[in-house]
Amino acid sequence: MFVLTRIKQLALLFIDIILLFFSLYLTLIIRYSQTYIEQNWRIHFYPFAIIYFIWVLVFYSQNLYNLKFTKNNIWFFRTLLESFIINVLITVFFFYFTPFFGIAPKTNLFLNVVIAGSLLALWRFFYNLLATQYIFKNKIAFLGYSKEVCELIAAFKNEPQLGYECIAVAQDEEIRDSEVKRITTKEFMQNVNRLNVNTIAIHYGKSFDKETNDELYKLIFSDVTFVNSLKLYEEVTAKLPLETLSEGWFLENLQESEKKVYDRIKIAMDYTLALMMGLFLLIIFIPVSLLILITSGRPIFYSQIRIGKNGKEFKIHKLRTMINDAEDNGAQFAKKGDARVTKFGKFLRQTRIDELPQFINLLKGEMSFIGPRPERPEFVKELTAKAPFYPLRHLSKPGLTGWAQINYEYAASIEENLKKLQYDIYYIKNRSFLLDVTIILKTFNTILRFKGM
C-alpha cells in the first residue's frame, strides 16, 4: 500500500524534470528559432542539467514533494515562488562563477525561469486538484481502535491528497468518537466485500477468535492488503507512538549491528563537515565576536554539560545567544519567543551560526552532524522518569540537526519533549543515508527561511 505513495511522489518528480527540460527547449526555440536548435541544445544541455538537478533538490527541501503539502492554497504557491527565487540566485552564482561552460545566459535564463515557472505552476495546480478529488483512494478498514487510529483517521480527513480513506473501524466495544463509523468485527467480516476495502489495518497486539482468523486468512487470496496499524502510523506521521512501544519491539526493530558500515561512513562525513564549519567560523569570527560584545558584552562563548552516546556526559560549545543571567532561577527549556535571547542572538539562532563552535565536538567524536538533540542531564533525568525508554535515544550520537529538530522545532516542556521523542525513536530505527540527506536539505530550508530556533 505504501508503494502508491512512492509512485505519486515519483510522478511529481518525473514530470517536474520533463517540464524543466521542455522549458529549456521552448526557451531555445524562442531565442534561436528551429534552425539553430540542435547546436544550441548541445551547448545548453549539460550546464542546465546540473542546474535542474540543484533545482529539484531545492524543491525537495521546500517540501514540494511531500504529499501533505500538495494543496492549492497560498502556502503552496508562495513556497513554489520562493523556491524559484532561491533557484535563480543559485543559477546566477553558478553561471557567473563557473565560466568553463562557455555560456553566461541572461535573456535565456530569464525566459527559462518564466516558462519553467509557468509550466510547473500549471502542472502542480492540476495535480493538486486531481490528487484531492479524483486520484485513486486507498480505502482502509481498521480492525481495532486506539488513540493512534483516531489520529490517522483525522489525518486522512484533513489531508485527502495523501490518498487514504477510512471506510470503517471494526471494534466490538463502544467508541466515544461519534465521527468514527464503528461496526462490530462480525459485521465487518460479513460485509468486507461490499465495503470495497483495499487495505485492512490490524491493530498491534490484536487477537481474534478462530472464526475471524479463518475469514481473514481467506482474504489473503483476494486483492485486500494487510498492514499493521503501527506501521501505517509510522508511514503517515513519520514518528512512533511511545505508548505502543515495548522491550520486545525495541529488540525486534533496533538492530544496531546492521548499522556499522553506515555509522563508519557517517564518521568520515562528520569530520569533513566539521572542518568546513571550523573554516567558516574562522572567516566570520571577528565580526560576530564584536557584535556579541557590543550587543550583550562578555563572554562570547558558552559551554554546557550534555548527554551523549551511551549516556556519557560531554561539554558542548556554542556562541552565546542569551543574556548572562538567563538561568539564575535554574535550568529551563528554550521556547519560542524566549525573552532571554538577545536581539543578535536571535539572528545567530535563526541562521544556526551559534552552533558553529560545535565543530570541536564533531572532531572529538562526541557529536554527529545529524542525530537527536543533545539534552542536559537534569532534563534527561526528568524525561526518563516520565518515559522509561527515553535513554534509547542515546543509541545514536547527538546531532547539530536531526529528524526531531526539523519536524518539531520548539519543545518548551517535559510533555513537548516526549512528543519530540517520537521523532527521535523514528530516526534511530530508520536512520540511513537517504534520511540523512533529507534532514540536511530540510535544515538548509530552515536556515534559508530564518526559522532556526
In whole angstroms, give the CA distance from residue 12 to residue 330.
50
204's grid cell: 498491534
pLDDT of residue 66: 86
Q: Is the Cβ–Cβ distance between 300 and 320 less than 8 Å? A: yes
Q: Is the Cβ–Cβ distance between 262 and 432 less than 8 Å? A: yes
pLDDT of residue 7: 81
pLDDT of residue 52: 94
* Helix, strand, coil shares, percent, the chain, to 5: 65, 10, 25
Enumerate residues 6+ apart whose C-beta is below 8 A from 203.
Answer: 142, 143, 144, 145, 146, 149, 229
Q: Is the Cβ–Cβ distance between 262 and 431 less than 8 Å? A: yes
In sequence order, what DSSP letters do the residues of 268-305 get, joined into one string? HHHHHHHHHHHHHHHHHHHHHHHHHHHHH-S-SEEEEE
pLDDT of residue 273: 92
pLDDT of residue 247: 67
Residue 231 CB burial class (10 angstroms; 0-12, 13-18, ≥19): middle
Q: Spell out the per-residue pLDDT of the chain, length 453, in tens.
A: 566 777 888 889 999 999 999 999 999 888 887 666 778 888 888 889 999 999 999 999 888 998 888 888 888 898 899 899 989 888 888 887 776 666 667 788 889 999 999 999 999 998 888 876 656 778 898 988 888 888 898 888 888 888 888 888 888 887 776 667 778 888 888 888 888 888 889 887 777 788 888 888 888 888 888 888 888 898 888 888 887 777 666 766 666 666 778 888 899 999 999 999 999 999 999 999 999 888 888 889 988 899 999 889 999 999 988 877 666 566 666 666 667 888 888 888 888 898 999 999 999 999 999 999 898 888 888 888 888 888 888 888 999 999 998 888 777 677 888 888 899 989 988 888 888 988 988 888 777 766 655
Helix (H) or strand (E) holding 85: helix 74-97
Helices (H), 134-256: 147-158, 185-191, 210-219, 229-237, 247-253
pLDDT of residue 283: 93
pLDDT of residue 335: 61
Which is it for strands 225-228 and 199-202: parallel, antiparallel or unpaired?
A: parallel
Taking CA 338 as the corner, what is the angle to CA 333 and CA 339, rounded to the nearest 5 degrees?
A: 125
In sequence order, what DSSP letters do the residues of 366-393 get, joined into one string? S-EEESSPPB-HHHHHHHHHH-TTGGGG
Which is nearest to 397 in space by CA: 372, 424, 422, 427? 372
pLDDT of residue 258: 63
3-state secondary structure of 323: coil
pLDDT of residue 278: 93
Which is nearest to 369 in space by CA: 445, 233, 452, 275? 275
Dmax (CA) for the chain in angstroms is 77
What domains, with CATH codes, occur in the chain? Answer: 2-133 (no CATH), 138-237 (3.40.50.720), 257-448 (no CATH)
Category of 245 on φ-ψ map: left (φ > 0), alpha (ψ -120 to 50) or beta:
beta
123's grid cell: 502542472
pLDDT of residue 59: 92
Category of 387 on φ-ψ map: left (φ > 0), alpha (ψ -120 to 50) or beta:
beta
